[in-house]
Structure 1
């Protein structure tokens, strides 16, 4: 017997990640959070570290589950079918870019990078308001993943909103093609 798959739970996690991305700017604006050095004592540090923890954990769980689902579906679909579905889910979706390294960023490869990253950071953007009272910083929905593979460093910037959309597409298409 294969693993049990919680497609609904994974879909809910992807929904919550997209919702979190969509709300972070407004939250930071209302809370007047301004990026500074992480010192574990101020409001910005508390926000950033809590958010980083939540996003990192949800990403790792989602990536690991998708990899297991992909590998388990090989009993009913060919590797070529899985690769084609991976390519289809990326059409019109820029899930990220390879900053350092020479590989194509497929959904599967992005999951590998999430799982094997040795450094993870959230990308932050500052508001453009010049009035210090109205300035704020917020997570822009992008994550920096860095690591080393076979002695060669790599760096990926992941567009998490688009990545979640691609994951949803992959899961929906896969569930229609595989008898779970």
Structure 2
């Protein structure tokens, strides 16, 4: 039997990931993060620490749960539906940028990269505002190795979270996950 997945909690994490992506610039502007006023105060370091931990934890949790959901649906004979739902969820979205490696970007492959990354970083970019400050650029940089080949993916957190939310909505609306976690299923 499969684990019972808290779909509301999963959607909550995906919402927060999107919010963090869109809110970083406004937050840093308001708080003066990475500005001249922040020099020596350590606010940028504290913000980086909170942000990286939240992003990493939420991405890992969402990726693992999504893989479990995909495995349940595949074992239930819904492979074709998964492909169609992914195609629909990705419409107009770019999951990220491949800097190194040979792989296609898909929901499943991005979850693999999140789960198997051996290194993850976030970057801050300067604004043209006066006074200038720095904010997170919205990408979560994942690095790893498959066999002897290195890979590097800049995951577009907003787009990924939006696509995964739409994908989950399709799965739930179609009732493909209705019996997930049931002991008799």
Aligned partners of 2:88, 2:108: CA distance in 1, in Å? 12
What is the aligned counterpart of 2:161 among 150, 159, 164?
A: 164
Deviation digits for residues 124-176 of structure 1 (CA, Å, limit 9, x no counterpart): 211113x4xx1110012111111101110000011111111100111011112
Pairing 1:145–2:124 present:
no
Name which structure has the greater RCO, CA cutoff 8 Å, separation 6+.
2
Deviation digits for residues 90-141 of structure 1 (CA, Å, limit 9, x no counterpart): 1111111211111101000000000011111113211113x4xx11100121
Gaps of 5+ in 1: none
Deviation digits for residues 31-86 of structure 1 (CA, Å, limit 9, x no counterpart): 212189xxxx7221111111101110100000000000000112333323322322
Look up the match of 1:87.
87
Give the secondary-structure state (helix, strand or coil) at the position aligned to 2:63.
helix
Aligned partners of 1:162, 1:77: CA distance in 2, in Å? 28
Give the secondary-structure state (helix, strand or coil) at the position aligned to 1:74.
helix
Aligned residues: 174
Aligned partners of 1:35, 1:156: CA distance in 2, in Å? 29
Give the secondary-structure state (helix, strand or coil) at the position aligned to 2:105.
coil
Pairing 1:5–2:5 present:
yes
Shift of 1:87: 2.4
Q: Contact 2:96/2:154 (CA < 8 Å) preserved in 1?
A: yes
Look up the match of 2:119.
119
CA-atom RMSD in angstroms = 1.9
Aligned partners of 1:35, 1:55: CA distance in 2, in Å? 23
Give the secondary-structure state (helix, strand or coil) at the position aligned to 2:2.
coil
Give the secondary-structure state (helix, strand or coil) at the position aligned to 2:170.
helix
Aligned partners of 1:23, 1:79: CA distance in 2, in Å? 36
Q: Contact 2:100/2:152 (CA < 8 Å) preserved in 1?
A: yes
Pairing 1:174–2:168 present:
no
> How do 1:7-86 and structure 2 match up within 5 A?
7-34=7-34, 42-86=42-86
TM-score by length of 1: 0.90
Give the secondary-structure state (helix, strand or coil) at the position aligned to 2:161.
helix
TM-score by length of 2: 0.87
Aligned partners of 1:79, 1:150: CA distance in 2, in Å? 27
Q: Contact 1:126/1:136 (CA < 8 Å) preserved in 2?
A: yes
